[in-house]
Every structure is written in C-alpha cells, then in structure tokens.
A = this chain, B = another copy of it.
Amino acid sequence: MRNPVGAAVLRPEKTASITEAVLAELAEVGYARLSMESVARRAGVGKSALYRRWPGKVAMATAAIGEWAVPAAPRPDTGSLRGDIRVMVEGMVAWLSHPLISRILPDMLAEAAREPAVAAAFRDNVTTPRRDAVRGVLERAAARGELGVSVDLALDLLGAPVYWRMSVRQEDHGPEYLDELVEALVRAICT
C-alpha cells in the first residue's frame, strides 16, 4: 500500500521502539494508569509520534500487544496433527512464560471485562489474528482427515488448559503434566 499523498511516513524502527515502551509501561503500571504522555516520555518521542500511529490509548495498547503476540503464535507443520498439538501446547507455555505477557494479559482482560471498547480492540488486534494463525494448522489437519472436532472447539481446547493452569491458577506444570495434557488433547481433538 503506498502512502497517501501528504501523509507522514512512519519509520518502522521508531514504531518498534514505541511498541516496546508501551509494553514496558503496561507491565509496570497497568493499562488504567498508562497515558500517552508516559509512553512518549519512556520512548523518548513526542506525543504526535504516537497519534500519527494510533488514534488513542486503547488502539495503541492493543496494537502493541498484537505486534508482539501475533508473530509469536505457533504455526507448526510437523505433518501430523498429533505432532502439531504438542508444538502448539509448548508455544502457549512459552508465550505465557514471558515475564511481560504474564503481567500484561490478566490486567488487559480485567479492563476488557469492564470496558467493551477495550474488549473489542483486544479481540481485533490480539485474539482474532492469533487464532487465525493457528487456524491454518487445524485446517491442514482437517484436509488430511485428522480433525475430529470443529476448528472453533479445537482452538479453544488448545489454548484453554495451559492458560487456566499458568495464568488463572498460577500452578506449576512439569513435563509429565504436559505429556498427559497432549495425550488427552489428542484423544479429544483427533479423529
């Protein structure tokens, strides 16, 4: 897409360093106390650099999480759904083990429960693109005749248990727990 005539050209490396500042602020002070000012100060840019990129705080915060969460979505292609399930479960563990995301995610979900605008932006910028990335893995499995449930349910079952264990229950999961979980998911999801 070419830049519209007269529009400012946005330098990607500047966007990346602002994104980093947004995530650091989200982890440190939380969404409620984050402000355009505090992000601009931390990133060492003017507020106009933020407003050229995002219309406001909701868009900025959720886009920053997405910039980082969507490329991190696991997209395995091991040749079998069983193999892909293990990689996807491990990808979820890795994502939730990240020290920033483990602080940012519960905070953003609490805001989303209070504020429909936050919920909608979080869905558009984080959940839906992440889910679309993983959906491709399941659609390939369905084409091979290996998927025994709807893609929608499979996506829930692949994300939910690790999230519940790590983020909601804040409970340990050893390698044996993950082995048993993968086997149970194989029985639940595969034909």
Contacts and interface: CB of A to CB of B under 8 A. Distances in A.
A117 interface: no
Contacts of A163: 160, 164, 168
A159 interface: yes
A106 B111 CA distance: 8
A30 B31 CA distance: 14
Contact of A160 (B102, B105, B164, B180): B164
By Cβ-Cβ distance, the 3 closest A-B pairs, closest first, are A160-B164, A110-B110, A188-B188
A34 interface: no
B164 A164 contact: yes
Interface stretch (A58-66, A74-82, A138-146, A150-158): A150-158
A57 interface: no
A91 interface: no
A90 interface: no
A2 interface: no
A79 B66 CA distance: 46
7 contacts: A103-B113, A106-B109, A160-B163, A161-B161, A184-B189, A187-B187, A187-B188
A167 interface: yes
B160 A113 contact: no
A184 B113 contact: no
A110 B107 contact: yes
B106 A110 contact: yes
Contact of A149 (B30, B123, B159, B184): B184
Contacts of A180: 149-150, 153
Interface string A119-152: 1000100010000000000000000000001101
A95 to B, nearest CB: 13
